[in-house]
Amino acid sequence: MTTSVAEAGQRLLQDDQPFDVAVLDGIVAAAYEPRHPERATANEILMKLREKPGCWQAADQIIEKSSLPQGRYFGLMALDDAINTRWKILPEGQRTGIKNFIVNKIISLSKDEESSMQERTMIHQMNKVLVSILKQEWPHNWPSFIGDICGASKNSEILCENNMHILRLLSEEVFDFSKDSMTTAKIRTLKESLNTEFAEIFKLCIFVLGASSRPQLISATLRTLKAFLSWIPLGYLFETDLIRTLIERFFAAAQFRNAALECLTEIASLADLEPKYDAKVVQLYVGVLQALGQVVPPNASLASAFEATGREADQTFVRRLALFFSGFFKAHLRLVETREQGPLLLDGLNYLVRISAVPDNEVFQICLDFWHAFAQDLYATETGRSAPRPGGYGNDDTFEPPVTSEGPGGVASRFGGRAPEGWPPADPRKQLFQHGGLLSQARLVMISRMAKPEEVLVVEDENGEIVRETFKDTEAIVQHKTMRETLVYLTHLNYDDTESIMLDKLALQVDGTEWSWANLNTLCWAVGSISGAMSEDEEKRFLVTVIKDLLGLCEVKRGKGNKACIASNIMYVVGQYPRFLRAHWKFLKTVVNKLFEFMHELHPGVQDMACDTFLKIAQKCKRKFVTQQPAEPRPFVQDLVAQLPQIISDLEPHQVHAFYEATATLLSDRGGHPSVGQQRPELLRRLMTLPNDAWARVTADAARDPSTLTRPETVRDVTKIVRTHARVCASCGPLYVTQLGGIYMDLLNVYRAYSRSISEAIAAHGDLATRHQDVRSMRAAKREILRLLSTFVEKCGEPEAPPRLVAESFVPPLLEPVLEDYAQAVPAARDSDALLLLATTIDKLRELVSEQVPRVLEAVFEPTLRMITTNFEDFPEHRLAFFKLLKATNTHCFAALFAIPPEHHKLVVDSVVWAFKHTERTVAETGLEILHELLLNVSQVPDAAKQPFYRAFVLPLIQDVLAVMTDRLHKSGFKMHATLLRHLFHLVEAGHVTVPLFDGGNYPTNQAFMREHVANLLKSSFPNLTHQQVVDFVVGCFDLRMDLPSFKTHLRDFLVQLKEFSAENNQDLYSEEQQQQQQQLAAAAEAQRLAVPGLVNPNDRPMDDDEDL
């Protein structure tokens, strides 16, 4: 069998053999048979056959004679490939033959009901091929196509149905999918042709809708009409009976309701219409609403469609109804917010509320996007404050109809205009605020369906069990953000109503009427989401009730699942109200003690959430813990440190680290009780008792027997201890020096010991040893030590750890073990964290360590360059760390670069050049920044030092920067390319480079030489440029009057002339301006968000210095 398939394939692939369709069928059958032993071979033959240039010429034989549907489909695809890739070079006769073959074949397959049903898939594919031909031929070479297809449609309902499919495909190809497959000019021509000839298509559609009784044809016509509605001239929509026909004839009929509603939604969503069509738009809305009342009575349940027995057609109807109302209100709310239409407006919004409650997330998301924008608009109108523009969730750009008028409150409304003169107090917009009205129902929906916040780690799985979340549900997080903001706006509009709904639902949880994990979760997530949206007095009254009831539930309910669910909700709620906790010490103390209780709860996720919540509270309320509160004998932090061993006894190592971080955060506060200020070092010592005792045991054992250090359990202990110190150091800052001083030398000795052990293992077993578990564990311990020291240097400062003290006492002992290990280790065993530590040290301590910099560079420079210059892929962490080190040295200790041997200067420049040629954007940008800083620094040194630098590097640097600017891979660095070239060109033009840049030749000045050098460089690199283009570019480059913006424009104009750039998307050349504009918009939006109380999560808001007082 193998031989026959292969031989058959060879026969088909040979040009001198007649094409045998039966042989093709055998290969196709093998390719589509999952268990066929030669399936792969058959597929490979089919791929080669389809790529064969003349394969399409057998397409008619294949389509006519193949006995397999897959065989005929293969022939059709071969023909489609030829149409899309070879059509323009085919002779006129062959093009006409293909066109006639496809048209006649479609007609023959659509001749009767039975044939069209049997060949439905084939007809659909042939329709696509015909549209491919139309995209090439119509309108110029086939001007009669629209007339032909419309005329033929009146001869047969079955043929007419398929012609509708063809017209729909044509509309979709031209208006929806054309961007990537046709030129702009071709798209414009097709659109103009469709617009010009749409009258015939419209007449055909109206004729069919009025005369046909064939359901399939009517459905096809409605779908085709829908494809045209978004772009056809508006007169066809509003100056004909189309809307009335859709509502009265087809919406009323269950069989066509969904298709009719889709058409009506398309019309209702059209925005920016001329005022003359306003009355027609209102008639559309009123007509649909009245027809809907006959189909779905006001008291009918929409949710039943989504139950197990619900029909798919009913679900589709509800989904499209959501799209209709949200689309209409987004585009035309102002038209129905009038005296006459006020009740109908409320009817439509009430339908939308009911739709929002159906148990389908796709439907809810449609409604949610509307409610968010609507609530935002109402808030802006009610307060006279512009609401922030949407951003960062969902599909918000669809919620930006232009502001054309003002709302009732005089504030520009994104939904509609000012109410008419004399509008009575019963204005629908004001009526929405009444207790128990429409917005109250919207609040109830938001509260009942609130999505899970990111902070919650305990969830209910598909089996109904309470478990720890294993991965983040990003969709739920985005939805929660939108729902949270919506509920905040709704709460601002009527706080009392929001509070009443929440407390009523909580009461039903407490008495058991509506008790369930899901109900409690959504309620508590909603409670947490409105933090900041109420006054402090309202917040106090509300939260006291909520927290008391939740704590009571925790005491009453039995069972691990119940306890875990309630605990997670308590922790989430209290974590969202730092302002309340800061103002009420007793509650804060109760909450924190409850968190300590939850830290002993072994249910998955509860301990993690307890530690995370404690850290969040510590960061926002730290002053309260270090200040002696009324009726308390001493500051709480003292009791906390004393009880620490008991509190953390059941926690896992990563949870212990989080707890230490939180407690150290409390000690970072300097403004608490005077006794605490004086006792901070002692409190820190007591806090670190457990890890320090463990460290003492490790070092004591090592003193007796050094080999104990390399035992796996000891290495693990060292890693945990050092990680704890790092978390504490990051939180308490300079105070940590009191702890580091006690373990510093031992820490460096452990680092040396692990370095020595790793080297010995590599010497014995080669580079493969770096993959052994014991070596990997020791390298992990070394990395933790480096990260601890890096964190300490980063956090050092007055008064406990002044930078001079760190530079003089801590840095010198550090360099010997770190530099020696890095220089001597094999590449695979070098730690990029060592480079980061050195970069941080130079960045933080600056000139205080300048004397040490030559020593540092001598140890790490060449070894690292040998690692990272072999290719662009290996050692990515080392690349970034090395260039951070080089950048820090160049910025803060530039003199040290000239203190290294002169032969190493070339290494420095070469490494920078290599960096900005890198394809990794971060590395390339760092290299450009280093070079710019380097050139600025060089310009400040005496002539005796800088002129040799210019002599050696100006010409190569210009050539290298021009190379990356014109290679199309580094467009994002254009701003720095322009900055560097301008600096280099102007250095020469202004005469700052006095040493000759040329070795020979008759050049009177550097300026003359440089012009000719750059011109020759460009001519040889870009032969398509004319002499005049090169001259104009070079003259402009050396124009000293050009500021940077003008110089960038000059470079952009030149780049666009290049053949390599002219056919590409060159937006990256403008990335600086775009980024600046985006940053300004983001800053303005954030400022507006912060101006709305509660809109920004309280834990994400910037904290004022006095906020914790």
Distance CA 393, CA 479 (A): 8
- Of 348, 358, 352, 388, whose CA–CA distance to 371 is shortest? 352
Tokens 């949610």 found at: 368
HEC letters along 752-803: HHHHHHHHHHHHHHCHHHHHCHHHHHHHHHHHHHHHHHHHHHHHCECCCECH
Cα end-to-end span (Å), the chain: 86
| Pair 435, 496: CB distance under 8 Å | yes
Distance CA 400, CA 373 (A): 9
Classify strands 458-460 and 412-413 as parallel, antiparallel or unpaired.
unpaired
Distance CA 1060, CA 966 (A): 8
Question: What local confidence, expressed as pLDDT, does residue 416 receive?
Answer: 47
User: What tokens does 312 get?
Assistant: 């798919």
**Exposed/middle/buried for residue 489 (C-beta within 10 Å: 0-12, 13-18, 19+):** buried
**Exposed/middle/buried for residue 118 (C-beta within 10 Å: 0-12, 13-18, 19+):** exposed
Cβ-count burial 443-464 (b if 16+ within 10 Å, e if not) = bbbbbbbbbbbebbbbbbeeee
What is the number of alpha carbons within 13 Å of residue 761 lying toward its C-beta?
A: 22
**How many beta carbons lie within 10 A of that of residue 136, not counting itself?**
18
Residues paired with residue 467 on neighbouring β-strands, in sequence order: 459
Distance CA 449, CA 365 (A): 11
| H or E element that contains 459 | strand 458-460
**Exposed/middle/buried for residue 1077 (C-beta within 10 Å: 0-12, 13-18, 19+):** exposed
User: What tokens does 630 get?
Assistant: 């009324």
Secondary structure of residue 405 in the 3-state scheme: strand
pLDDT tens digit sequence for 778-787 = 999 999 999 9
What single string gives the DSSP state of each residue in 64-107?
A: HH-SSHHHHHHHHHHHHHHHHHHGGGS-HHHHHHHHHHHHHHHH
Distance CA 219, CA 215 (A): 6
Angle at 539 between CA 538 and CA 545, to 5 degrees: 95
Q: What are phi and psi of 452, to 5 degrees?
A: -70, 130
| Pair 208, 150: CB distance under 8 Å | no
Q: Is the peptide bond before 799 cis (omega within 30 degrees of 0)?
A: yes
Cβ-count burial 27-46 (b if 16+ within 10 Å, e if not) = bbbbbbeeeeebeebbeebb
Type of residue found at 223: R
pTM comes to: 0.74
Secondary structure of residue 678 in the 3-state scheme: helix
pLDDT tens digit sequence for 1028-1053 = 888 888 888 888 888 888 888 888 87
Residue 149: CB partners within 8 Å, gap ≥ 6?
Answer: 163, 166, 167
Q: Is the peptide bond before 827 cis (omega within 30 degrees of 0)?
A: no
Compute, in degrees rounded to 10, the torsion defined by CA atoms 831, 833, 834, 839.
140
What single string gives the DSSP state of each residue in 295-350?
A: HS-TT--SGGGGSTT--HHHHHHHHHHHHHHHHHHHHHHHHHSSTTTHHHHHHHHH
| Pair 859, 822: CB distance under 8 Å | yes
DSSP state of 248: I
CA diameter of the chain: 103
Question: What local confidence, expressed as pLDDT, does residue 327 receive?
Answer: 94
Classify strands 458-460 and 466-468 as parallel, antiparallel or unpaired.
antiparallel
3-state percent helix, strand, coil for the chain, nearest multiple of 5: 75, 0, 25
Distance CA 419, CA 404 (A): 13
User: What tokens does 501 get?
Assistant: 């709904």
| H or E element that contains 467 | strand 466-468
Type of residue found at 376: Q
Distance CA 251, CA 222 (A): 11
User: What tokens does 106 get?
Assistant: 């479609």
pLDDT beneath 50, residues of the chain:
1-2, 179-180, 389-412, 416-428, 435-436, 1059-1071, 1105-1109
Distance CA 1026, CA 1040 (A): 24
